């Protein structure tokens, strides 16, 4: 056979023996690296979640705070983290908070912010099956559908009727995923038909085709940043991509009536946002003028990383294009976590780009971080 050929066959035999009998070393290293990455994600998510639970009452503020949108975004991330961690203590904490408020939504009948909490109520109902968890939500949503607002989409804070509908982009995170959940849960088309009509009205009002981004609301149509560019808020567009992920997560996979629009918009917005990531890995408070807002901003970054990671996991976004963006964003997010688990660099409550410092934190920033962590974990599988 000849010495060269004999050595070749021996080498081939040893290769297949190591790959099939003992495990491919390269494959084993990749598996170990993925396991290590997952452990790191779990460790930092636990630290952040535990710190926030300990400091929960210190960080919410405003009327109806535990039922409002600030806490509502946290609950979403905490629910996903509870599922991933498998620790019942997090579900126990959510139950404790929700039982204290009798699973009620906040006061304003039409306001999108005041039903954000219902997303987690419905998720809890699916897990635990207690009707008390969804009765107030269904009552509110049914009333709104039966008595639709005729308010304008041109927002004016002196006219309450102008924010009864989804006239600002944040609302696309707060309310539509409640309706998509009820549609999936009940099978009743009235929920998604209403949400789809209102969502598209907001889309046509606020989406800028030229830039591929959402204005915060109509007041910003003619405003400019210091560099002359249009004003597009980082977290505002983060709310939208996060809300789209929640809609797509909860719409039935077989749905052909509604999914195509939301899938197409999701890919369009995700692609544009990926282009706007800053060299430091963050999306800053202003998407088109980051030089005027040089500080990191973790709430925008958290929601965008969450959306992009979800898109990769579901096959909407090609990993070769978007995974480096997600990894860079996640590295930036984890750099904003203090040793005790406090997440910093969270832009405070507001309607437009603002200055941010490392000491600033908010519940919604932690919610975004936990949502992103859970999707990152799935990416490592």
User: What is the rounded distance in angstroms from the CA atom of residue 52 to the CA atom of residue 261?
Assistant: 36
170 is catalytic: yes
- DSSP for 311-335, please give it: HHHTTSS-HHHHHHHHHHHHHHHHH
Q: Return the ∠ at Cα 145 (arms to 139 and 151), rounded to 5°.
A: 120
Residue 231 CA: distances (Å) to CA of 169, 237, 260, 289? 13, 11, 29, 8
Contact between 356 and 299 (Cβ < 8 Å): no
Within 10 A of 367 (CB to CB), how many other CB atoms are there? 30
User: What is the rounded distance in angstroms from the CA atom of residue 40 to the CA atom of residue 42?
Assistant: 5
Q: Which residue has the tokens 């009333």?
A: 143
Q: Which of 113, 123, 170, 196 is catalytic?
A: 170
User: What is the rounded distance in angstroms from the CA atom of residue 248 to the CA atom of residue 263?
Assistant: 7
Catalytic residues: 170
């Amino acid at each position: 056979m000849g010495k060269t050929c004999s050595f070749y066959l021996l080498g081939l035999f040893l290769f297949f023996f190591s790959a099939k009998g003992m495990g491919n070393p390269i494959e084993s290293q990749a598996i170990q690296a993925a396991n290590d990455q997952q452990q790191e994600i779990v460790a930092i998510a636990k630290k952040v979640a535990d710190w926030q639970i300990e400091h929960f009452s210190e960080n919410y503020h405003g009327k109806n705070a535990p039922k409002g949108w600030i806490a509502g975004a946290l609950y979403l991330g905490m629910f996903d983290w509870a599922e991933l961690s498998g620790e019942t203590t997090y579900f126990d904490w959510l139950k404790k908070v929700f039982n204290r408020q009798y699973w009620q939504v906040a006061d304003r009948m039409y306001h999108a912010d005041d039903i954000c909490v219902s997303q987690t109520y419905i998720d809890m109902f699916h897990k635990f099956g207690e009707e008390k968890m969804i009765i107030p939500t269904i009552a509110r949503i049914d009333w709104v559908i039966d008595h639709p607002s005729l308010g304008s989409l041109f927002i004016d804070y002196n006219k309450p009727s102008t924010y009864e509908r989804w006239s600002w982009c944040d609302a696309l995170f707060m309310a539509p995923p409640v309706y998509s959940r009820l549609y999936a849960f009940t099978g009743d088309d009235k929920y998604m038909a209403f949400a789809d009509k209102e969502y598209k009205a907001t889309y046509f009002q606020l989406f800028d085709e030229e830039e591929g981004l959402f204005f915060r609301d109509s007041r910003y149509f003619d405003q400019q940043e210091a560099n002359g560019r249009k004003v597009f808020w980082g977290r505002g567009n983060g709310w939208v991509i996060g809300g789209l992920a929640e809609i797509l997560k909860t719409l039935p996979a077989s749905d052909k009536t509604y999914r195509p629009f939301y899938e197409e918009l999701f890919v369009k917005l995700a692609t544009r946002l990926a282009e706007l990531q800053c060299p430091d890995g963050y999306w800053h408070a202003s998407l088109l003028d980051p030089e005027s807002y040089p500080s990191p901003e973790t709430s925008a970054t958290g929601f965008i990383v969450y959306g992009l990671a979800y898109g990769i996991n579901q096959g909407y976004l090609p990993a070769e294009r978007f995974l480096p963006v997600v990894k860079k964003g996640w590295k930036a997010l984890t750099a904003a976590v203090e040793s005790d688990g406090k997440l910093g660099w969270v832009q405070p409550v507001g309607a437009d780009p603002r200055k941010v410092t490392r000491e600033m934190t908010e519940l919604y920033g932690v919610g975004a971080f936990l949502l992103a962590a859970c999707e990152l974990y799935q990416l490592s599988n």
